Structure formats: C-alpha cells, structure tokens
Amino acid sequence: MAKYVRCLMKMSLYIVQAEWYNGAMKRIYLFGSLNADLTIRAPYLPKAGETLTGSDFMLTAGGKGANQAYAAANLGGRVHMAGCVGEDPFGDMLLTSLQKAGADVSHVRRTARGTGVAVILLSDGDNRIVLDRGANGEAEGTDVDALLASAEAGDIFMTQLETPLEVVRYALKTARARGLFTVFNPAPAVREAQELVPLADLITPNETELAILTGEERGEEGCRKLLAMGAGAVLATCGAHGSLYCGQDGIMPVACVHVGKAVDTTAAGDTFCGALAVRLAEGAGIAEAAKFASLCAGVSVTRRGAQISMPSRREVDEIAVSLHE
C-alpha cells in the first residue's frame, strides 16, 4: 500500500509539472546582479595581516539576481532576467549558465565596464563575501522598462540590492504599477532601503538584514515593524532555524529542512528566494511556498558553489517523496 501511495505522489508531481509547461504558471521577472564568484576554502577566517594557505578554488556563476533567476528556472519557472554584465569572459559564463537553466536573458545588457565579481571565503560551512559591483552599477531604469514590457498583472517580480538603489526603487514602483506581485530581497541591506519596504508585497530579509532595516534583534518584533512600515507580508529567513512568516493573518514559523551535512551556505538564501518565486507563480500561498523553498535551500547547502549547488525540480520532488516515506 505504501508503495502504491508513493507512486501516486510521484504521478501527481509530474502532472503538476506538465501543467506548468502548458502555460498555467505565471511568469517570473528578475532584475538584479550578475557576478563571477571566486571561491576558496580556508581552515579558519584569517586575522588582520594574516596569510593562509587555502584550497578548492572555484570560479562559478553567481550574483544574487542571477542566482535567484537560475534557481527559479532550474525548478521549472518561466524566468526573464535583466541586469548588466561586461564584454568579457565572465559575462559570457554568466549568460551561458542562465541560458542552460532555461532563463530568458535577452534583457541582460552588456557594458564596457567589467562584470561584477564576488570573492568568497569559506570556512567550516560558513562564508564571508567581498563584492566589486562592476557592471551591476550600470543598470538603469530603461533596463527595467525593457524587462517588464511583456509582463502582465499577477506575474511575479523579484529584485535585490546589488544594483543602484534608485534603480531598484524604480523597478519596484514600475512592477507594482503594472500589477505584478513584488518580492523584495533586501540584500545586502542598507538603512536607506527602508523607503522601499512599502513597495513590497513580500519582503524576504535574513536575520542580519532584518536588524539593519528595523533595529530589532528579535525576529518577531522585526517582522511586525516591517509590516508597520508598509510591507504586504514578511518572510524572514533564519538559517538553520528555518524561516518566519508574518502577514496580516498572523505569524507562523516554517521549519528548516535538513537533507544532509551543510558544506557551503553561499547560495542558500538565493535558492530559497528563487524557489519561493516558483511556487508563488504556481499559485501557492506564501506559507506553502516557504516550505518548498526551505527544502530547496536545504539541498543547496549540501553542495559547494552557488548556481551549481541548486537542485532541479525533479530532484526536489523525489526528495520530498522520500522524506514522506
């Protein structure tokens, strides 16, 4: 009987997949950063002036915007991405990665300024990141206009803070005016981003970003303050403790899903956001979408790298079935 139930669960998952490709799913519009990630592992975080011998150097595609677009496309989302990269090999790598995942990158603009770069230091599953914005700083409102020209009311729009703040503001306003559901991932957070909070139907800070935006160390108090500031709903990610959903209907914790040992948390938040966008585009409520996003993020942390660590939809569905066995 249990085997029969598992087969039915798998069949239902694949039926849902077929419905997406028939156009039932809303489109997802991502505006944000595209970076080349230079990652190296260290035995511990170095002190000032200290030189360490590292290992396992990797050059991979990254950037919060591109990561979220890749995660969503790799999970079956109908993704359209806009941003800027340089006329260099890093830019080629980023565009190729997104195209292989199935994302539309026709609105990613190439500039004379070099592609953005992130230098990532890994130690014991944790990470420290230093960014050079590069071409991401060239993003303009016209890039937003081009991206959203085909958008329709009810589609999903997602953006972050690795592009100029004034352009992010314009993007959220434009998406809201066109009737899209706006998801704002305030990363990396700055106090000035408080003015963008009322433009978000859903805001997705982590614990550090929540504290920067609200001044509150406690998650529940910070979430309530974001609601008071005008956010439609809040979904705060809390690392290994899961996430916290806060809406007009109350507060609900969403458990973290552990599927193996965490070895690299670099793209966990971006995987979460991309997966969240996919389930929202499928018509799920925020709390339900958060559960799916937690599973996807739980898979990503068991692997090294950013986009290369992100799971496919078939893989996630199979893991979900096995967790219920």
pLDDT of 324: 65
CATH code of the domain containing 92 = 3.40.1190.20
Q: In what order do the strands lie in the sheet with 35-41?
A: 55-62, 35-41, 116-123, 126-132
How does DSSP classify residue 123? E
- Rounded to two decimals, the pTM is 0.87
pLDDT of 125: 67
Over residues 32-65, the pLDDT tens digits come to 999 999 989 999 988 899 999 999 998 999 999 9
pLDDT of 23: 54
Positions of the chain with pLDDT under 50: 1-22
Cα 27 → chain centroid: 16
How many angstroms separate the CA atoms of 20 and 28, rounded? 13
| Burial degree of 194 (CB within 10 A; 0-12, 13-18, 19+) | middle
Strand pairing partners for 61? 36
**Domain extent at residue 212:** 2-323
pLDDT of 258: 76
Strand pairing partners for 182? 157
Q: Which string of b and e fits 7-45 if b means at least 16 CB within 10 Å?
A: eeeeeebeeeeeebeeeebbbbbbbbbbbbbbbebbeee
Over residues 131-190, the pLDDT tens digits come to 899 999 999 999 999 999 999 999 999 999 999 999 999 999 999 999 999 999 999 999
**How many domains is the chain built from?**
1
Catalytic residue numbers read 270
